[in-house]
Amino acid sequence: MPNAVLTLHPAFTVGPVRRRTFGSFVEHMGRCVYEGIYQPDHPSADEDGFRTDVLEMIRELGISTVRYPGGNFVSGYRWEDGVGPREERPRRLDLAWHSVETNEFGLDEFMRWAKKADVEPMMAVNLGTRGVQEACDLLEYANLDSGTHFADARIANGSAEPYNVRMWCLGNEMDGPWQIGHKTPEQYARLASETGRAMRMIDPDLELVACGSSGPEMETFGTWERAVLTEAYDQVDYVSLHAYYQERDGDLGSFLASGVHMDRFIADVVAHCDHVRSVRRKEKRIMLSFDEWNVWYQTRFDTSGPPSEWVTAPPIAEDDYTVADAVVVGGLLISLLRNSDRVTAASQAQLVNVLGLIRTEPGDGPAWRQTIFHPFALTSAHARGQVLDVGLDAPRYDTAKYGEVPLVDAVATHDPETGALAVFVVNRDTEQPVTLDLDLRAFEGPLGEGRLRVLHGDGDPHVVNDALDPDRVLPAEGPAVRPVDGRAGVTLPPVSWSVLTFPGR
C-alpha cells in the first residue's frame, strides 16, 4: 500500500483563510435563476418567489459571496430592464445563451435573495455592449443613499436602503471571441481603466476586478494581463481567472490531478501581475479573483448555432456529477486554499442546476445535493484561521496531461485562537488505498480525538446523486483518529476526498 507523510507546523503559514474563497455564482443561464433559486409557483416558494428548499441548502454550503448576473449573459444585459414593476419589464433576446430573458428576476430581487441567503453580493457590469455611463448608473442605483435619479428610483421600487455592494467585476471574459462585445487587450484595458476611474469618483472604496485571460490556453494569455494592468493598475484591485475541468477519453488519472493545472495557472498570473508591478514601480499588489471554476463537461455542450426556437430558461449544462468529479472539486478547493496569499476571492460556477452544487427537478419536483456539494460544504465549514504551508512527502505517478504528479494532495488550516486543526486531502490513486501519516509534534499540548469523513465511490468513481437517490453519495464517517506522541495515521480509499478535524480547546 502506498504511503504518504504530511508534516504540519502552526508557525509555517501561507496566509489567512479567506471567507471569499467560498463564493459561488448565479447567472441568467439555463435554469440557474428560473426554476433554480426563483420559482414562485413551487410549493416551497416564499412570499418573494424564492425556493426555500434551495435557500436552506445554500446556507448549509456556507456560501460567502455570489457573483451576479454573469458570466457571458452580462455582456448583453441592460440592468434597467430588471427593475421596476414586473408587468412593465421587457422581454429580451439573450444572445449569450440563445434564450428569452423575461426580466422577472432582476437586481432588486437578487439583493433580497442575497440577504435571505446571507451572502455578500458581487456585481458585474456590462462592458460588452455598454460602457462607463451605464456602469455608473448601476452603481448609483445600488449604492447611493438618495437625492439622485437612480438612487431615488431604487427607493421608489421598494428598497429604501442602499445595497452597498463592495466588489464589482469590470465585464466578463472580454478576451473571448465568444463574448458579445469581444475586445482586443488594448481596447478592454482602456475601457476598464476609464470605467473604474469613473466608478471610484462615486465610491472610492470599491473593490474592482479586471478581466484576466479566460484561460491559459488563450492566444493572448500573458500579453492580455500585461496590457490590462499596464493601463488599469491604479484602478483595479483584482485580476480574474476562469478554469473548468473534465474527464476526457477515460483519462481519470489526469483528471484527478486537475489541481496541478490550477496551481500552475495561478502561479503564471501572479508572475504577470508582479511583472507589471515591478515595471511600474507600484506598492500595491494585485490580488486574484478565481471567479469561475468547476468541473464542466463542455464536450456535451453546444450553443454554436442559432436555436430552433427562443424559449425561457432552457435546461443548459446540467451535468450529473460523479464521485470523481467531487474528488476533483475537493482538490481544487485545496489549491485555492494553498494559494490564499494571492487568491483572496473565488466563485464556484454555478450554484444551482447549471454546473450546480444543487439540482432541482422541473415543475414541482424536489431539490437535491450533487456529489460536489459535500466537499464544498465541509471545506467551508472547517477551514478557519490560517492556511498552513504543509510538508508533503508522497509517491508520484505519471499523467498524460501534467507529467509526474503527487499521488496525494493536501492542505491544512489551523485556528490559533481555538486550536482547531483541519486537514483536507485527496487520494488520486485509481486502484489502491493510501496510508497517510501525520506528523503533529509541533502543536503544543496533545490534540484531541480527530474526526475523519471520507467521500468515495466504494469501488465505482462514477456513481452520482439524482432525484431518485439523492443521498447515494455522502461523506462516510471514518474511525476516530487518536494521535499518539504527536503522530496519527489514516487510510484513504482510492479516488477519495477526506477531511480530518481535530477539535480546539
Q: Is 477 a catalytic residue?
A: no
Closest CA to 206 of 138, 133, 158, 282: 138
In whole angstroms, give the CA distance from residue 322 to residue 247.
11
In this predicted structure, the answer to whether residue 355 has a pLDDT above a threshold of 70 is yes
pLDDT category at 124 given cuts 50, 70, 90 is: very high
What integer best gives the mean pLDDT of the chain?
96
Q: Is 207 a catalytic residue?
A: no
Q: How do residues 224-236 score in pLDDT, each as one tens digit?
A: 999 999 999 999 9
In this predicted structure, the answer to whether residue 388 has a pLDDT above a threshold of 90 is yes
Query: Per the residue annotation, which of 173, 225, 231, 247 is the catalytic one?
Result: 173
Q: How do residues 29-85 score in pLDDT, each as one tens digit?
A: 999 999 999 999 999 999 999 999 999 999 999 999 999 999 999 999 999 999 999
Which pTM does this prediction carry?
0.96
In whole angstroms, give the CA distance from residue 70 to residue 30.
12
Q: How do residues 82-109 score in pLDDT, each as one tens digit?
A: 999 999 999 999 999 999 999 999 999 9
In this predicted structure, the answer to whether residue 389 has a pLDDT above a threshold of 70 is yes
Cell numbers given for 342: 494571492
Contact, 3 vs 435, CB < 8 A? yes
Assign 410 to helix, strand or coil.
strand
Q: Average pLDDT of 403-407?
A: 97
Which residue ranges form the domains of the chain, and what is each CATH number?
3-10+387-502 (2.60.40.1180), 18-382 (3.20.20.80)
Neighbours of 312 (CB within 10 A): 14
Q: How do residues 286-310 score in pLDDT, each as one tens digit?
A: 999 999 999 999 877 765 566 668 9
pLDDT at 303: 57
Neighbours of 419 (CB within 10 A): 18
Terminal CA-CA length for the chain: 35
Helices (H), ranges, 25-119: 52-61, 107-117
Q: How do residues 243-286 score in pLDDT, each as one tens digit?
A: 999 999 999 999 999 999 999 999 999 999 999 999 999 999 99
Q: Average pLDDT of 323-327?
A: 98
Angle (CA) 339 341 342, round 5°: 75
Q: To the nearest whole percent, how much of the chain has pLDDT over 90?
A: 95
Burial class (CB in 10 A: 0-12, 13-18, 19+), 341: middle
Q: How do residues 133-152 score in pLDDT, each as one tens digit?
A: 999 999 999 999 999 999 99
Which three-class secondary structure string do you get for 49-70? CEEHHHHHHHHHHCCCEEEECC
